Structure 1
Amino acid sequence: MSTSVCLFAIARIPVGIFKHTLSISKALLSDLVSEKERPLVIGHFNAASSVGFILGPVVGGYFTELESGFYLTSFICSFIFILNAGLVWMLPWSEEHTDSNENEQTTSNSKVTAKANYDLQVQSLSNGAMKYDTPLQSLWIPVVSVLKRIKSIACSDLWDIFLVRLLMSVAVMLYYSNFVLAIEERFGVKPKLTGYLISYSSTLGALAGFLLGPITRLYQHNSYALLLHSTVLTCVLIMLYSTAFSIWTVILSSTFLAFSTTVGRTCITDLELTLGGNQASGMLIGVGQSVTSVGRIIAPLLSGIAQEFSPCGPPSLGVGLALVAILIMLMNTPRYCSDRNAKLKSE
């Protein structure tokens, strides 16, 4: 209902703050399911989200072409959020199940420095909370707590996992950044066929989410090994795309890339939650999403610079970033393998 650009920009502020229902849902799922079931459940959740990303642009594009289509699309989107709120309100919550699951999972030995530091910080803030009487000072306490919690996570043993997430996010975004223009320039493919290829890849990505169960069982629920192998496969496929001589090579790389990126995205989320502890699940997922958002800011800038040299410049740069991510993971393999073995012994 905005009548000016200023109101439109102001309306985007609460949307940007409160639209992260996917992140909140992942944090909730991590509390409701056991650690071994978490990759499978998150994989199914990502598959459902992928279906939404496939249908959303099609439905939105159809309604937008109608008269007053923008307003119609906006109100439909608002209605869907209201419907979701009603569904969440009606969910049969079981606090006892959630609390018992949290207690069972948090008794494990996989606790990192971020979690310990956070407990101390919350305790100190709670002890000093009685000193603040005004509403503004009372509001400042959780703000400071969140900021210190983010700092403790960023400075913890998880820094390399977040760095790998950033590098791979930028690498994959560089692959998609000039995909339409690049294959049109390199192979003369029409935009319509390119759209079909993108939808094909998105559909495969949704199907890949349902295959995470057998894959994780094959890897004996070793998320780190699965993440490493999916990262290597993603790097190889982006390299194959950047050196492709025919459109069939592009289709081949896009086919397997849809699987590798889906598996990698799920595994790195599961690894963050496993190493960070379930008490910090919401914050860890939030920080991970923020890292990905930083990648979305960096990728277009790097893509524009690399594209000045060659249409293959952005994916080639993505290959380099993926190689750095693989090197970081290989350097830290002994630490994560030892942590996992200790945890399995404690279980």
Structure 2
Amino acid sequence: MARLDNVLFFISFLDLFAASLTVPLLSGHIKALGASHALIGLVSSTYAVLQFFSGPVVGSWSDIKGRRTILLLTLICCSLCYLSLGFAINILTIICIRVVLGTLKHTQSLCRAILSDVVPPETLTEVFGRYNAISGIGFIIGPVIGGHLAEYQHGFFYVCCLSSIIFIINLCIALIFIPKSKQRNKNEGQRMEASLWGSISMAVNHLRYMNWSLYWDAFSLKAMLAFSVSILYANYSLTLQERFDLTPSAIGYSISFQSLLGAVSGFGAGAVSKIYGTELAKLTQHGFILLAISFIIILSCSALWLFILALAPLAISSSILRTALSQWSLEQAPKDQRGSVIGAQHSLSAISRMTAPVIAGVAQSTFGPSGPVLISLLASLAGIVIASRIHRKSKAVEGSNKKSL
């Protein structure tokens, strides 16, 4: 049987490949239906709002019910929703589909939780780096294929159908290769099987008794990272269309280029983490500095080639930051709470994605294509300040401990 980590890498790759076929085209599709920039942002925020509320609950639910069960439910939901999206002809239907997806689409978080269960802690950073790299390859080829298909008549419909088929393939892979998890004890297992809502209630109660103060340093930095990147990509396709007059296929190539850089960076994340050792705060501080530099270049450039060049530090820094912050959180989490922690971390990212589309839409309507990039820059600067404060605090504690010895 295939190694479980390789199976999870492939499932994650297919998940992002399927999503990246459709999501970059969604803003343009909604605009073609008559939506404004602000309404496009509102539709995107609907998804993020549900992700915010459902992330911790789904993660906790997987701690109790079993990760495989919840993953299978997620994949079935995604297949049906993406197929329905291809048939949607009005904005209200699209919003309803996004509500369902926002509630249940947590494939990436669930795969990370399963990995954290089976991978030794000392190799977690390296494995997460490979996970981010391999899954990121889906974003290399997905936007290109989706962009080319979208240029045909009824292209968006074909793209959605292809996404649905890929989620069905993922479902089959998960059914065959991911083993069933063992229930904690007989009584709890009986309660879980008795009622769907009962198990969800148990998941909510499970969250109440966790010591969340352990994770806020990593969570706050994760939120800044997600917000700065989400602002940039909220109306990314429209920005490139308005600023450089690019076609959908050319936009797809630009997204794929950045995904390629992110994938390469993911493979090197483990090596970078070893250089910094236990100084994760210092690593995140330097990562946010590199992120801010990329936003400064994007904000000031007037040529397309310089814009594309600025994607390199953006992709490298965001890839390394995602890996380091995931490790930072999971190092402090007991095994039976890792799904909850990953879900909560995903939920904090969803707060950023929830607000980013609306803010980016308003900023673009008010200040033009450069408006969202300026806000991304400010968020990355906030990340530098937070990481610097945490780094100074950790150094002070370390110095105090040395003096006491």
TM-score normalised according to structure 1 size: 0.72
Distance 2:342 2:110 in 1: 8
Does residue 24 (structure 1) correspond to residue 24 (structure 2)? The answer is: no
Q: 1:345 matched to which residue of 2?
A: none
Sequence identity of aligned pairs in percent? 28
- C-alpha deviation, 1:253, in angstroms: 1.9
Q: What's the RMSD between the two structures over aligned residues?
A: 4.0
Choose which of 189, 195, 213 in structure 1 pairs with 2:244: 189
Q: Give the counterpart letter for 1:85 in structure 2.
A: L
SS at match of 2:232: helix
Equivalences, count: 308
Q: 2:31 matched to which residue of 1?
A: none
Distance 1:44 1:276 in 2: 21
Distance 1:91 1:331 in 2: 44
SS at match of 1:261: helix
Q: 1:51 matched to which residue of 2?
A: 137
SS at match of 2:277: coil
Q: 2:376 matched to which residue of 1?
A: 318
Does residue 227 (structure 1) correspond to residue 284 (structure 2)? The answer is: yes
Distance 2:173 2:251 in 1: 37
Task: Mark the structure with the bigger radius of gyration.
Answer: 1
Once the two structures are superposed, the pairs formed by residues 148-297 of structure 1 within 5 Å of their partners are: 148-151=205-208, 155-179=212-236, 182=239, 189-192=244-247, 194-220=251-277, 222-244=279-301, 246-297=303-354
Q: 2:21 matched to which residue of 1?
A: none
Q: Give the counterpart letter for 1:243 in structure 2.
A: S
Distance 2:355 2:178 in 1: 42
Instruction: Confirm or deny: 8 A CA contact 1:150 1:287 kept in the other structure.
Output: no
Q: 2:390 matched to which residue of 1?
A: 332
Q: 1:183 to 1:328 in 2, by over 3 A?
A: same
Instruction: Confirm or deny: 8 A CA contact 1:175 1:315 kept in the other structure.
Output: yes
Instruction: Confirm or deny: 8 A CA contact 2:218 2:329 kept in the other structure.
Output: yes
Instruction: Confirm or deny: 8 A CA contact 2:223 2:349 kept in the other structure.
Output: yes
Distance 1:254 1:10 in 2: 33
Q: 2:123 matched to which residue of 1?
A: 37
- C-alpha deviation, 1:216, in angstroms: 1.9
Q: Give per-residue Cα distances to partners, 1:52-88, cap 9 Å, x unaligned.
A: 1222233344555667766654444333333223322
Q: 2:174 matched to which residue of 1?
A: 88
Instruction: Confirm or deny: 8 A CA contact 1:228 1:329 kept in the other structure.
Output: yes
Distance 1:184 1:143 in 2: 44
Distance 1:242 1:165 in 2: 23
Q: 1:151 to 1:228 in 2, by over 3 A?
A: farther
Q: 1:301 matched to which residue of 2?
A: 358
SS at match of 1:36: helix
Choose which of 34, 58, 79 in structure 1 pairs with 2:165: 79
Q: 1:325 to 1:195 in 2, by over 3 A?
A: same
Instruction: Confirm or deny: 8 A CA contact 2:142 2:256 kept in the other structure.
Output: no
Distance 1:8 1:314 in 2: 24
Deviates more, 1:260-269 or 1:270-279: 270-279
- C-alpha deviation, 1:273, in angstroms: 1.0
Distance 1:336 1:52 in 2: 37
Deviates more, 1:246-255 or 1:318-327: 246-255
Instruction: Confirm or deny: 8 A CA contact 2:140 2:257 kept in the other structure.
Output: no
- C-alpha deviation, 1:15, in angstroms: 4.4
Distance 2:211 2:139 in 1: 30
Q: 1:288 to 1:197 in 2, by over 3 A?
A: same
Distance 1:79 1:305 in 2: 36
Distance 1:290 1:13 in 2: 15
Q: Give the counterpart letter for 2:125 in structure 1.
A: P
SS at match of 1:191: coil
Instruction: Confirm or deny: 8 A CA contact 1:50 1:203 kept in the other structure.
Output: yes
SS at match of 2:121: coil
Q: 1:34 to 1:144 in 2, by over 3 A?
A: same
- C-alpha deviation, 1:310, in angstroms: 4.9
Q: 1:109 matched to which residue of 2?
A: none
Distance 2:162 2:241 in 1: 34
Q: Give per-residue Cα distances to partners, 1:119-162, cap 9 Å, x unaligned.
A: xxx9xxx99x99x9xx5xx6555434432444555852322322
TM-score normalised according to structure 2 size: 0.63
Give unmatched runs, 5+ long, in structure 2: 1-82, 400-405
Q: Give the counterpart letter for 1:30 in structure 2.
A: S
Q: Give the counterpart letter for 1:201 in structure 2.
A: Q
Instruction: Confirm or deny: 8 A CA contact 1:224 1:271 kept in the other structure.
Output: no
Q: Give the counterpart letter for 1:241 in structure 2.
A: I
